Structure 1
Amino acid sequence: MTGLWVGLLRVRLRRRYASGSVSPYRGWAAWHHIGGLLGGLTLLTFVASGWLSMNPNRWFGPRAPSQAMLERYAGVTAPRWDLDLAAVHATACSDVVEVRFAWLGGEPQAVLSCQDGSTLACCSWAAQPAPPAVSRLATAAQQLLPGAPIREAALLTEEDAYWYSHHL
């Protein structure tokens, strides 16, 4: 920072030096002066852009979805749970350690965490545990961002460049 400051103080753009140069130096020293100014300004711009991309003091709005977006995604605004606990007990996971409740496209959804670390989407308020259909997820996503078109919705069953299972 000190070198950049001194370099800026030594530059004359309007009233040039006697040689007609913007730098008081000659030869390699002049190249070092001008190159250092360009490199320092580039570095300063890079650092400032990185800092601003972190959204300091939330100057550029929140990164999290708004409450209205979450309600559109869930499809409901009032909490009501029609969960059949017998359906939870009838799942393939007999050692449930956690149940997370959510709404998806206006329908309640439960996600079970088993003791062995696996998770299971459960209880679409039917007797059998079933993961949400791709069409149901696409409908909920469309409600989340109504102005954004969905090009394709597919269920990934194996890893690709954007999703991996986190399991070795």
Structure 2
Amino acid sequence: MNTIRIIGGKWRRRILHFPDSAGLRPTPDRVRETLFNWLGQDLSGLTCLDLFSGSGALGFEAASRGAAKVVMAEIVPPVLRALEENSRLLNASDQVEIVRTDAVRFVSSLRTTGFRFDVLFLDPPFKQGWLDRLSPLLPEILVEDGTLYVESESPLNVCGDWQTVRSGRAGQVFYHLMQRGESNDA
């Protein structure tokens, strides 16, 4: 089993385990630290969706920092079991909901409920066209002033209606904080 460490909030320094799985790239500590500096350290009251949860690094980090609700969507059974075990370990069931589902099917089902998230963490497997498939659906699952965080294999200026306001690079991964409106240089 591989491990990640939660870097902030009430579960700071807690170690979580996850299995090997094709395409699974946990967001490194340094990138998570940057992301949560951008978002603010306290996510109290916010709802977050961690699509393609993988190790759960982003979703558990958001819950640790006070997010009211974090939905973690994953389809790979061993990875899903590790997310469920980590949620039990943290006693996170009041904040974290883990859903086994395909990303497009899940986002499409959300569109029918009218429920919208404040923050979406989008870290799909690379070179499979996920961003192109999902970007047209995002306006219906994010609040008007919602924030989108995207990891990708190349730099992004836009993802649907969202434009990059902050960005960085860690090795082969480009990461972006995006909001609706004009883009800014990071």
Provide the TM-score with structure 2 as the length reference: 0.21
Provide the TM-score with structure 1 as the length reference: 0.22
Answer 1 or 2: which has greater strand percent: 2
Answer 1 or 2: which has greater helix percent: 1
